[in-house]
Amino acid sequence: MAKQRGIIKLDGTMADITFYRTKHGYMAKERLRVAPGRMLTDPRFARTRENMAEFGRACNAAKVLKNAMGTLLTSFGGKSLQNRLTQEMMKVIHLDMVNPRGLRNVIDGEAELLEGFDFNSTSPLETSFKAPLSLTLDRVAGEANVTINPFDGTEVIISDPAATHFKLVSAALDINFESKVTASAFSETAIMKIESQPTALINLENALPAASVNPLFLLFGISFYQSVNGFHYPLLNGAFNALRIVKVSGTP
């Protein structure tokens, strides 16, 4: 290990030398390279192979969930969504108490940890919509519903000042993360004006296969629009759009 001297303090990698800062000052060391074949066969890298296998499984699980949502993600999420969702899937996998390291998976883990996950990292659901939700996720009957009592839009909705209208959306997902077989259902309200006039009772109903043995997910969200000459345009920045996994039923 070498110590950097001089007035130029480097941080990062140049050629095969890595420069970094420690409490003892700026240091430098040679970057060691491991042959791919050795990584795959050497017993000393067994733990690395286990971690790599589970990370890959988490990445695939995140993609399967996103694909099951279809076009719903168009108005939500962002560039960091895949990474954030993969991190949450890793937490789920680590709670698999059935399989050995390297073979742990989402189905045998605690999928309930995904409850509360916001697809838009800059807009948690409660910062845009504050009305209480009544949730139903009935595995036996295959019912996945969101019910909202009448509310005053000016009191429970927080939006971009340019927004004049909103739409509530819901989705239900039945996902086998190992086979990648999914079933999805979607529902939404009409585009409604943000006003003090109370809404009617809202029921967003989604039907999933009855008696499923897969993890089930219920999602709820809100998106915003601007009305111009009778036409409703989605707000381009989507900063206030919110979508959350509001209820999860893991493997029975």
pLDDT at 2: 45
Full residue range of the structural domain in which residue 171 is found: 38-249
Residues 172 and 73 grouped into a single domain: yes
Instruction: Please list, in sequence order, all residues whose beta carbon lies within 8 angstroms of the beta carbon of residue 106, skipping any fewer than 6 positions away.
Output: 57, 58, 61, 89, 92, 93, 96, 177, 215
- Mean pLDDT of each 10-residue bin along the chain, 252 residues long: 49 60 64 62 74 90 95 81 93 92 88 95 93 97 98 94 95 95 97 95 97 97 93 85 96 83
Residues 107 and 207 grouped into a single domain: yes
pLDDT at 225: 95
Residues 88 and 186 grouped into a single domain: yes
pLDDT at 203: 98
In the chain, the number of structural domains is 2
pLDDT at 31: 59
Residues 14 and 116 grouped into a single domain: no
Residues 26 and 50 grouped into a single domain: no
Q: And the tokens for 188? A: 């939404």
The CB density around residue 1, as the number of other CB atoms within 10 Å, is: 7
Give the amino acid at 106: V
pLDDT at 76: 83
pLDDT at 134: 98
pLDDT at 156: 95
pLDDT at 36: 64
pLDDT at 50: 83
Residues 141 and 44 grouped into a single domain: yes
Residues 78 and 12 grouped into a single domain: no
pLDDT at 9: 54
pLDDT at 12: 54
